[in-house]
Amino acid sequence: MMNPHSIYLLVKYTSGGGGGHPHQNTYHGDTEFASFKNLKDLTGNQFPFSTLSRANKNNPALKTSTASASMLHRNPICYYTIDKDDMSKNNTALSNYQTLPSVQLLGRVRDFGYECGIEFEEAGTKVIDHINYDVADEGDHSRLAIDPSQVLNNKLITGGTPSSPILFDGIGMLLYEENELLLPVIKATSTAYSFFQKDKITEHPEAVGKSASLVTALQARNNARVMFVGSLAMLSDKFILSPVQKAGSPKAHPTNGNALLVESMLNWTFKKVGLLRISEVNHHVTGASEPPPYYTILEEVEYKIKIEENVDGKWVEFKNKDVQMEFVRIDPFVRLTMQKEKGFYVSKFKLPDVYGVFQYKVNYQRQGYTFLSSATQVPVRPLKHNQYERFIPVAYPYYASAFSMMVGVVLFSFVFLHFKDPALASAGSKQKTQ
Amino acid sequence: MSGGTSLTQAVGSMFTEYDRCTSLKLKLVDCFLAYILATGIFQFLYQLAVGSFPFNSFLAGFISTVATFILTVSLRIQVNPENKKQFDVTPERAFADYIFAQVILHLVVMNFIG
């Protein structure tokens, strides 16, 4: 169902008051959607939508067809719900995501959350914090003033730690602990809990304290990015433009950190930042320029890789200096941090004294960047019989002794054969004299 | 000078006996044997000091000394007239065998020494 190269935007219309019947909206396959203007600012694609109203639901001209549905499948989107009666008319880019007091968590969003390891709190609940709420709160302490320390400090995803508190008013979620890919962007405080507003608490809430996440990011292993935002209000103009002051604290911030945070989050989700790719991989013996058909043990080799980052739509050289390369035959024999040389990441090393089939591996996984993975397989052969060292200096005594043995045998045999026993010689001479 | 019980007396009498009874020819062979022995011992001590890096070279050199020693000893045995009862072989035949064996030995050593 999901295109691995897009993120999905799912907007469901609920008619005024939040009690709308789902079947009254146009429905196509697995995607329930509504129309929306001015969405092209962030995504770059023009959505052929017009607002659907309940009155128009039987208008065949407006009944969105398979064309728009498939367009949705191709275009990046994010999940949220809105109430059509309260759409405001601002035209700033961020006003595309409008929100309202009565929000209902879409069933499909909840299901998608489960697939990603996120459990949303019960529909209708809000995250409430009786200590860290904004002074403009209406009384039930659900309009939270998030401290900058609760926000993930990552330049790509959040633009760094915000300078002022963040306003939030929405639902909380729990993350599956063993999922390494989930990243809580905004965590709740230890004094927060989730329950229905204005209701007396009758059961222990699920999303409570620091384990509750308010905004979660996920980058899947195929580099698809999803951002689960518990509060639509956080994205709205109303919240972005309002001042923030934590109740009980004297410090009043005329501007909150929502604008920068939301813009960074959306840029990251729609792959405007943190997008990497590997454009070239080369390896060769030092001195050559092409990969050889095979390597020999103990050779000096060079490995080059070019990584590019997408900045403002253009692919430029990636500047980070912590890319590592491994030379692996089941276990890594060599692991080096690569140096930058003429736009390439280069590592130069000597092959280990082990033969076999190895792989040059680059596995770059950093928070906020796409996952990069490259493996190049090469054979490494042992020395041929004529590639061994000859005339090793330390072995000269052995060479000397072997040759001396030969010379000795020759001399000895020469002497031995021509030897005349003096006893016999004297006997012979005695005989002669007689 | 009677054969006493002390060690030095025994060794001394052994040397004088040797000097008197062995012919010059055999003494010649013994000289060569002593040289081979010395080379072999020197090689072994060198290997203990320096390590056995080109182990094949060490083995080739050492075994060439040991094998020449053995072949020369067998030549000496066959040539010694006192052994005529056990080895009924002419000295020429013995020497021919000796040379043949030496050729093969040195061929192998040269191949193995690397």
Q: Which residues of B touch A395 (CB under 8 A)?
A: 53-54, 57-58, 61, 113-114
What would the pLDDT profile of A5-27 be if each residue is shown by its tens digit?
Answer: 222 333 333 222 233 333 333 32
Neighbour tally for A51: CB within 10 Å: 13
pLDDT at A429: 54
- Rounded Cα distance, A231 and A72, in Å: 23
- Interface membership of B24 toward A (CB under 8 Å): yes
Quick check: B69 and B36 in contact, CB under 8 A?
Answer: yes
Nearest beta carbon to residue B25 from set A395, A406, A421: A421
A385 Cβ contact partners less than 8 Å away, ≥ 6 residues apart: none
- Rounded Cα distance, B23 and A270, in Å: 105
Confidence category of residue A276, pLDDT binned at 50, 70, 90: very high
Give me the residues of A, 350-379, that contact B with CB < 8 A: none
With a cut of 70, say whether residue A1 has pLDDT above it.
no
Q: Which residues of A touch B99 (CB under 8 A)?
A: 413
Quick check: A8 and A76 in contact, CB under 8 A?
Answer: yes
pLDDT at A426: 54
More confident residue, B112 or A43: B112
Quick check: A259 and A159 in contact, CB under 8 A?
Answer: no
**Quick one: how far is CA A286 from the chain centroid?**
33
- Cβ-based contacts under 8 A for chains A and B: 85
A2 Cβ contact partners less than 8 Å away, ≥ 6 residues apart: A8, A224
Rg over alpha carbons for chain A, rounded to the nearest Å, is: 37
Neighbour tally for A225: CB within 10 Å: 21
Nearest-Cα residue of chain A relative to residue B110: A402
Strands A244-245 and A225-229: unpaired
- Interface membership of A404 toward B (CB under 8 Å): yes
Confidence category of residue A302, pLDDT binned at 50, 70, 90: very high
pLDDT at A217: 92
What would the pLDDT profile of A384-415 be if each residue is shown by its tens digit?
Answer: 988 888 888 888 889 999 999 999 999 999 98
User: Which one of A394, A405, A417 makes the best mutation probe of the B interface by having the most chain B beta carbons within 10 Å?
Assistant: A405
Section A246-254 average pLDDT? 87
pLDDT at B1: 47
Query: Quick one: CA dihedral A10, A14, A18, A21, positive or negative?
Result: negative
Count of residues in chain A: 434
With a cut of 90, say whether residue A351 has pLDDT above it.
yes
Average pLDDT, chain A: 75
Q: Which residues of B touch A409 (CB under 8 A)?
A: 68, 102, 106
pLDDT at B5: 67
Most confidently modeled range among A37-41, A229-233, A287-291: A287-291
Nearest beta carbon to residue A399 from set B29, B46, B113: B113
- Interface membership of A417 toward B (CB under 8 Å): yes
Nearest beta carbon to residue A409 from set B40, B61, B102: B102
A172 Cβ contact partners less than 8 Å away, ≥ 6 residues apart: A120, A121, A125, A127, A188, A192, A194, A207, A212, A213, A214, A230
Confidence category of residue A109, pLDDT binned at 50, 70, 90: confident
With a cut of 50, say whether residue A220 has pLDDT above it.
yes
pLDDT at A308: 94
Confidence category of residue B53, pLDDT binned at 50, 70, 90: confident
Nearest beta carbon to residue B24 from set A389, A402, A422: A422
- Read off the DSSP letter of residue B83: G
With a cut of 50, say whether residue A151 has pLDDT above it.
yes
List the structure tokens of A185: 């962007």
List the structure tokens of A300: 């000096």
Quick check: A373 and A189 in contact, CB under 8 A?
Answer: no
Q: What proportion of chain A, given as a percentage, has pLDDT over 90?
A: 37
Q: Identify the CA nearest to A285 among candidates A384, A216, A378, A395.
A: A378
pLDDT at A283: 95
Confidence category of residue A102, pLDDT binned at 50, 70, 90: very low
Q: Which amino acid is at A333?
A: F
Strands A77-83 and A8-14: parallel
Q: What is the 3-class SS of chain A, one letter each residue?
A: CCCCCCCEEEEEEECHHHCCCHHHCCEECCEECCCCCCCHHHHCCCCCCCCCCHHHHHCCCCCCCHHHHHHHHHCCEEEEEEEHHHCCCCCCHHHHCCCCCCCCCCHHHHHHHHHHCEEECCCCEEEEECCCEECCCCCCCCCEEECHHHECCCCCCCCCCCCCCEEECCCCEEECCCCCCEEEEEECCCCEEEEECCCCCCCCCCCCHHHEEEEEEEECCCCCEEEEECCCHHHCHHHHHCCEEECCCCCEECCCCHHHHHHHHHHHHCCCCCCEEEEEEEEEEECECCCCCCEECCCEEEEEEEEEEEECCEEEECCCCCCEEEEEECEEEEEEECEEECCEEEEEEECCCCCEEEEEEEEECCCCCCCEEEEEEEEEECCCCCCCCCCCHHHHHHHHHHHHHHHHHHHHHHHHHCCCCHHHHHHHHHHHHC
More confident residue, B21 or B33: B33
Nearest-Cα residue of chain A relative to residue B91: A417
